[in-house]
Amino acid sequence: MNILAIDLGSYSVKFYECRLERKQLKYLGHREIIISKIRSQFEPDTTINEIHNEIIRSYLKKTEFEGKIIYQIQDNFTTSRYLELPVNSRKKAELMIPFLMEENIPYSLKDIHYTSTLVKNGENYSALVSIAQLEYFDNYYSYLEETGTLPAILTTEMGVVQSFIDQKHFSGSFCFVDIGHDSTKAYFIHNREVISSHLTHLGGKVLDDIISQTYQIPLDEAVIYKHDNCFFLTDDQLDDVTKEQRDFAKLMHQAFMPLVSDLKRWELGYRVKFGNPITKIIISGGCSNISNIENFIGAQLKIKVEKFDGSKISGVPEESKQNFLLSHMMAASQRSSTQMPNFLTGNYTSGFSDTISLHSVSFIFSRSLAVFVVLMSFMLFDRFYFLNSMDRRLDSKIKKVIKKDSLEISRKDQRKYKRNPESILKLLKKKNRVVKQEVRTIQSATEINASAPLIELSKYISRNELVNMELFENIDGNVRVHFSSKEPKELEALKTHVTSGPFDNLKIDYKSKSKIMTMTFSE
C-alpha cells in the first residue's frame, strides 16, 4: 500500500511518500515546498489553509498519486481532552466518552465533531480526544471535498505522536518538544502515553526576526543565516569564544528565553499534577538542527535534552531529517496497534479503503503454490474417501424418491435409472415444466398492478435528497403515502407541488414546521 504523508507546516509543506510492505516502510520519495517562496503567487488575503490546499492539489495533480493520503488539521482549530475510563472493555470505553465529554467541555456535544484514540492502561482504558467545532469542520470538509484534496486520514499532531510512540520502546516520563516555525508544541509522555500537551506561539520565526533587525539584513537572508550559521552557547561556554560570537549567543539567549520559560512552567505543572518529574526532553523540528541548542536548553532547565534520532528516516538527507520527522511519523504509525485519530468518520468519511498490500512476485507465487498443493491434496483425499460413499447414499435416496406415486414414474422408467439416469432427469424436467406452466396460469389470473400509483407519483415528484418516502400503501385503490424530512421547508414545498397534481380525492395531512407529511388519494 502506497502512503503519502503530508506535514502542513507554517514554514513549509513536507511530502513523504513510501510503501508499507510487511510492516516495513519502503522509501519512494520526498519533497519540501517553502511557503515564502511561492507566497507571491497568491492574493494578500489568502489564508495559510488555502495555500496548503493549493500546494496539495498541485502536487497530487502533478504526481497522480494513488494510495492513502494522510495529513493533520491545524492545531489552532482543535482542542483536546485526556480522559480516564474506569472500564476494561473497549466497547464500554467508547460508549463512556460522550458522557465524560459533556462534563469536560464548555459547549454542547451537538456543536462539536470529535475523534478519539483509546489506549489500554493496565486494567482500564484512557482516551485522547481531539475536538473541532462542528460548524468550522463542516465547512472545512466541504472545502476539501470540492477541491479534491480530501485525505484518507485527517488527524492531529498529538494523535500522530501517540500512535508513533506506542510502537517504540520508550519508558518512564519524558517530554517531546516540536520546535516549529511559528509555534512550539510540547507533549508530556508517561509510559508511552501522551497525558498532557501545550502550545506556545514562539518558534524559529522569532530568531529570523531578531537576526534581520539586529544585522539589518532581509528576512530571507536571515532565514538562510539561521539554518547555516546560527548557534547557542551555555553560560560556561561564553568565556571560550570571541566577542562577536559572545554577542550573537546573548542575542539568541534573549530571543529564546520566553520559550525556555514556557518549558519550565509546563514541566513544573506536570510535576505538581502527576507527582513525578520527567527524565529527559526530546526535541525535534527544523530549529533542533541549530548548533548546540540541546545543550543550551538542558543547561537552562537542568534536564537532559537530546535530539530525536532520525536515523530510520530513510531517503532523506541528514540535515533535513528533523524537518520530515512528523510526516515520517504519520507513515510509520500505520504499523501501530494504536491507530491515529481520524476526523473523517461518521458523516464525514472520505470513501478511501485500504487495498491489499502486494509484496514481491516470488512471495505471492510461493504462497499461492503452497495453498494450491494443500487444496489439491484435500480434494483428492475427499474424492477417494468421501465422495464414493456419498454417491452410494445419494443413489439409494434417489431410487426411493422416484418410486413415489406422486411423481407418476412407471416401473419401466424406474429400471432405466441405473443404466441411463439422464432419461429420468429429462422426464422429471418435463413434468416440472408442466407444473410451472400451471402455476403461471394461476398467478396471472390473480395479478393486480398495485404499483401504478407509485409510478405516477414518482413521475410527478422530482428527486429530492432531503425528503424520504417512509411508507407507500395501496389497499383496494386507496393510496396512502408518508414523507419525512429534517427540513420542514422541503415538506412545505412538496405539499404545494402535489396539491396541483393529477391525484383524485387528494388529502394532505401536514402541520406547519412538522417533519412528517401524509397524503392520500384514489387510484
Domains, in order of start, for the chain: 2-348 (3.30.420.40), 361-446 (no CATH), 452-522 (3.30.1360.100)
CB 118 within 8 A of CB 36: no
Say what the pLDDT of residue 357 is: 42
Per DSSP, 170 falls in state: -
Q: At residue 366, does pLDDT exceed 80? A: no
Amino acid at 43: E
In terms of pLDDT, which residue wins out, 358 or 513? Answer: 513
Burial annotation 302-318 (CB, 10 A radius, 16+ → b, else e): ebebebbebeebebbee
CB 330 within 8 A of CB 14: no
CB 302 within 8 A of CB 325: no
Comparing C-alpha atoms, which of 204, 185, 211, 207 is closest to residue 196? 185
User: What is d(CA 80, CA 132) in angstroms, rounded to the nearest whole number?
Assistant: 9
Dump pLDDT digits (tens) for 39-90.
Answer: 999 999 999 999 999 999 999 999 999 999 999 998 888 988 889 899 989 8
Dump pLDDT digits (tens) for 477-508.
Answer: 888 999 898 888 888 888 888 888 888 888 99
Burial annotation 437-474 (CB, 10 A radius, 16+ → b, else e): eeeeeeeeeeeeeeeebeebbeeebeeeeebeeeeeeb
The secondary structure element, H or E, covering residue 361 is helix 361-382
Percentage of the chain exceeding pLDDT 90: 48
Amino acid at 68: K
Say what the pLDDT of residue 267 is: 94
Dump pLDDT digits (tens) for 311-338.
Answer: 889 899 998 999 999 999 999 988 887 7
Q: At residue 214, does pLDDT exceed 80? A: yes
Q: Give the three-state DSSP class for 112.
A: strand
The pLDDT confidence band at residue 353, using thresholds 50, 70 and 90, is low
The pLDDT confidence band at residue 149, using thresholds 50, 70 and 90, is very high
CB 187 within 8 A of CB 15: no
Dump pLDDT digits (tens) for 425-442.
Answer: 787 788 788 888 877 776
Neighbours of 92 (CB within 10 A): 12
* Residue carrying the nine cell digits 496539495: 56
What pTM does this model have?
A: 0.66
How large is the average pLDDT for residues 91-97?
91
Give the bridge partners for 480, in sequence order.
473, 520
Dump pLDDT digits (tens) for 159-179.
Answer: 999 888 887 777 789 999 999
The secondary structure element, H or E, covering residue 114 is strand 112-121
Average pLDDT, the chain: 87
Give the phi and the psi of residue 512 in degrees, each rounded to 5.
-55, 135
User: What is d(CA 315, CA 34) in angstroms, rounded to the nearest whole number?
Assistant: 19
CB 178 within 8 A of CB 185: yes
Say what the pLDDT of residue 360 is: 45
User: What is d(CA 503, CA 523) in angstroms, rounded to the nearest whole number?
Assistant: 8
In terms of pLDDT, which residue wins out, 327 or 339? Answer: 327
Say what the pLDDT of residue 379 is: 76
Q: Give DSSP secondary structure letters for 429-468.
A: HHHHHHHHHHHHHHHHHH---TTHHHHHHHHHSPP-TTEE
C-alpha cell at 99: 458522557
How large is the average pLDDT for residues 361-387?
73
**Residues 6 or more apart whose Cβ sits within 8 Å of residue 426:** none
Per DSSP, 231 falls in state: B
How large is the average pLDDT for residues 134-149?
92
The pLDDT confidence band at residue 358, using thresholds 50, 70 and 90, is very low
Q: Give the three-state DSSP class for 245.
A: helix
User: Which of the given ranges, 104-108, 250-254, 357-361, has the highest pLDDT on average?
Assistant: 250-254
Classify 216 in phi/psi space as left (phi over 0), alpha (psi -120 to 50) or beta.
Answer: left
Q: At residue 356, does pLDDT exceed 50? A: no
Q: At residue 372, does pLDDT exceed 70? A: yes
User: What is d(CA 28, CA 327) in angstroms, rounded to the nearest whole number?
Assistant: 13
Comparing C-alpha atoms, which of 291, 260, 267 is closest to residue 175? 267
CB 42 within 8 A of CB 363: no
Dump pLDDT digits (tens) for 255-292.
Answer: 999 999 999 999 999 999 888 899 999 999 989 999 99
Going by their DSSP bridges, the two strands 112-121 and 153-155 should be labelled as unpaired
C-alpha cell at 29: 520519495
Classify 451 in phi/psi space as left (phi over 0), alpha (psi -120 to 50) or beta.
Answer: alpha
Dump pLDDT digits (tens) for 5-37.
Answer: 999 999 999 999 999 888 888 999 999 999 999
* Residue carrying the nine cell digits 495555500: 51
Q: At residue 380, does pLDDT exceed 80? A: no
Dump pLDDT digits (tens) for 385-426.
Answer: 666 677 777 777 877 777 777 777 777 777 777 777 788 778
Q: At residue 254, does pLDDT exceed 50? A: yes
Amino acid at 197: S
Nearest-5° Cα angle at 510, 505 to 516: 115
Neighbours of 107 (CB within 10 A): 11
